[in-house]
Structure 1
Amino acid sequence: MPARHSRIVERALTRLKLRQLRLLVAVGRTGNIQAAARELNVSQPAATKMIKDLELDFEVRLFDRTNRGVVPTIYGEALIRHGKLIFAQISNAAQELDDLTEGTSGRVVVGTLLAASSHLLPMAIARVLAKRPNVMIKVVEGTNEVLMPALRAGEIDLVVGRLPAHRHRQELDQIALYEEEITLLVGSIHPLANAAELTFDDMRDFGWILPPIETTLRRQVDRYFLDEEQYHPPVTVESVSYLTNRALLAEGSLIGLMPAHVPARDVAQGLLCRLPFRLPFGAGPVGVSYRGKERLSPAGLVLLDALREVAGSL
């Protein structure tokens, strides 16, 4: 182990205080040492000294001063991220001890994207609860841009859905469970609902329900629209809420796109119709992301196993 690394680790183990990390996180969030000091009920000089002590112990500059306050350096951002993870782990430990005391046998927080919300995750949760009825499971919906930072920070244990682009894979373990295609959908009263075949020109006059602009799928859609003579839909709704999209499609004037498994039940019941048009993009793996098995609680490991089992049957 390099001498500098050993020296910093020794200082952290013997001198680092959680109060310093709380201040560090608060300064990073507020961009203001005085505001962070008030939050922790310490004086500004004391807060400034705590930051200086951290910089001396870690041998880096943690913040740059600007006319608007302070901004974390790359070293500050890294230490803030690890500080958040430490506090999340403490919170998880306290929650797990409380759950065990109450007899609930553990807790797991799982983030879900649209691709996993209709079949994969509900079936996996049902499987877990059949084996461990006292496990507490919290489900958080969102996009990768929201869920992945929460996963890295330890606020979420697993994220289930279409696996993210490369920018979200650093520091995470990922398992691909199955391949999913993107399908085009309309309501049963839509003018295109009973079409035997379609070209893209047949869809130009209709509005679209699209995923948010920050998602990989939306970027693929936008590139495709540009290739189609720089097409711009007359109406656009951005939504990843299946209930909202389902109601909008049933109204009959919009075209939606989503992972094929998601609307399967509504298609079978005749509420929605798949359009006979195959998109040249969007197919990709649905899977699970997590911070490593060693960081999963027993309940998290049980859910991970259930997700694999269910995926094998889809």
Structure 2
Amino acid sequence: MQHLRTVLAVARSASVSRAAESLGLTQPAVTRIIHELESELEVPLFVRTSRGTHCTNFGQIVADHAELVFAQLDRAEDEVREAREGLSGRVTVGVLVAGAASILPRALVRFQHERPGVRVTLIEGTYDYLIPLLHQGGLDFICGRLPAYRYREGMEVEAFHQEEVALVTRPGHPVLAGGPVSLAGLRAWPWILPLPDTTLRQLIDNAFLDLGLPLPHIACQSVSVIANRRMLLETDWICAFPRQVVEPDIGAGMLARVPVEPLLSFGPVGICQRRDVPLSRAAEGLVAVLRGDSEGRVSIPG
């Protein structure tokens, strides 16, 4: 680096004496450094004339690259400072359906406005997929329904709000003609159910089992919000979602919520992170926005 600094100083000033002064070195020291680099590269870098010391073609190549090197170092210093202060960097969030549809999108819009230098990446999946990524350092934290206790070893969880299960279908479905219906009354229609290892599927299964009822006919098993929405619009099927996932569609009249009694609780929605790994300043900033945007935070055992 000292060689590159010296070449750049001489190239900029066209003078060994001025370069030595700017570097805090003696003229013989600057001359020695230049000779060392010329010997290593086996080409002359400068030529002395009556108008000063000027770069040869070879010297100009080295000086141009030195400009780039030091510009990158200055940028690296700026990025380190910004990352230290949480103004830049990367945040990777594991997302489950409930988190992706409710608190996270709203928080991301606000966070990006406050810290446009931070790049946020979302990776959607189930806990079977996301928890190993979190342990491996591929995620900063997970946002969604909080995990079952079997996933919580070494984890720290924080709940923001309680979520409900919404049973939905197309507008005009026959089940909407009357008043509230029971789960037993909904067995007359096929269902779209989540995959068996998901929390929502286990909630639905247990709701029927607790009433001594067999599961309804399963037309499809899917966790694809887009595909499930489309199938509902073209059939008389029924599907279960976290309420906030389909709330915009219900409000727009695209889907209709089935008035089922009793209501099903989806459970607490919040974040999950590794207990032994502190969050980066950027990730802390996003979590702070999530806390501020959440409503009706709830407390649960750690």
Please report the TM-score for the alignment, with normalisation by the length of structure 2: 0.66
How much has 1:209 moved relative to structure 2? 1.5
Q: Any conservation in 2 of the 1:293–1:301 contact (CA below 8 Å)?
A: no
The yes-or-no answer on 1:258 pairing with 2:245 is no
- 1:185 matched to which residue of 2? 168
> Which residue of 211, 216, 226 maps to 2:194?
211
SS at match of 2:179: coil
2-side partners of 1:107 and 1:259: how far apart?
A: 28
Residues 31-42 of structure 1: pairs in structure 2 closer than 5 A:
none
- 1:78 matched to which residue of 2? none
Q: Any conservation in 2 of the 1:187–1:193 contact (CA below 8 Å)?
A: no
Q: Any conservation in 2 of the 1:160–1:289 contact (CA below 8 Å)?
A: yes
How much has 1:107 moved relative to structure 2? 0.2
The yes-or-no answer on 1:285 pairing with 2:271 is no
Deviations 1:267-303 (A, max 9, x none): 0111111111134643310010111485211111111
1-side partners of 2:148 and 2:135: how far apart?
A: 15
Q: 1:269 to 1:118 in 2, by over 3 A?
A: same
Gaps of 5+ in 1: 1-96
Deviations 1:14-46 (A, max 9, x none): xxxxxxxxxxxxxxxxxxxxxxxxxxxxxxxxx
1-side partners of 2:94 and 2:193: how far apart?
A: 21
1-side partners of 2:116 and 2:183: how far apart?
A: 49
The yes-or-no answer on 1:144 pairing with 2:127 is yes
Q: Any conservation in 1 of the 2:156–2:274 contact (CA below 8 Å)?
A: yes
- 1:106 matched to which residue of 2? 89
1-side partners of 2:206 and 2:296: how far apart?
A: 34
SS at match of 2:143: strand
> Which residue of 212, 224, 234 maps to 1:241?
224
- 2:109 matched to which residue of 1? 126
Residues 1-314 of structure 1: pairs in structure 2 closer than 5 A:
100=79, 105-279=88-262, 281-292=264-275, 295-312=278-295
1-side partners of 2:112 and 2:244: how far apart?
A: 23
CA RMSD of aligned residues (A): 2.4
Q: Any conservation in 1 of the 2:164–2:263 contact (CA below 8 Å)?
A: no
How much has 1:219 moved relative to structure 2? 2.1
Q: 1:293 to 1:229 in 2, by over 3 A?
A: closer
Compare 210-219 and 159-168 and name the one that shifted more.
210-219
Gaps of 5+ in 2: 1-75, 298-302
SS at match of 1:303: helix
SS at match of 1:198: coil
Amino acid at match of 1:147: L
Q: Any conservation in 2 of the 1:175–1:287 contact (CA below 8 Å)?
A: yes
Amino acid at match of 1:251: E
Deviations 1:62-100 (A, max 9, x none): xxxxxxxxxxxxxxxxxxxxxxxxxxxxxxxxxxx7993
Q: Any conservation in 2 of the 1:245–1:256 contact (CA below 8 Å)?
A: yes
How much has 1:203 moved relative to structure 2? 1.3
Number of residues of Structure 1 aligned to a counterpart in Structure 2: 217
Please report the TM-score for the alignment, with normalisation by the length of structure 1: 0.63
Q: Any conservation in 2 of the 1:206–1:233 contact (CA below 8 Å)?
A: yes
How much has 1:193 moved relative to structure 2? 3.1
2-side partners of 1:175 and 1:144: how far apart?
A: 16
SS at match of 1:267: helix
1-side partners of 2:78 and 2:128: how far apart?
A: 30
Q: 1:279 to 1:156 in 2, by over 3 A?
A: farther
2-side partners of 1:220 and 1:198: how far apart?
A: 18
Name the % identity.
Answer: 35
1-side partners of 2:178 and 2:233: how far apart?
A: 17
2-side partners of 1:205 and 1:185: how far apart?
A: 15
2-side partners of 1:227 and 1:293: how far apart?
A: 39
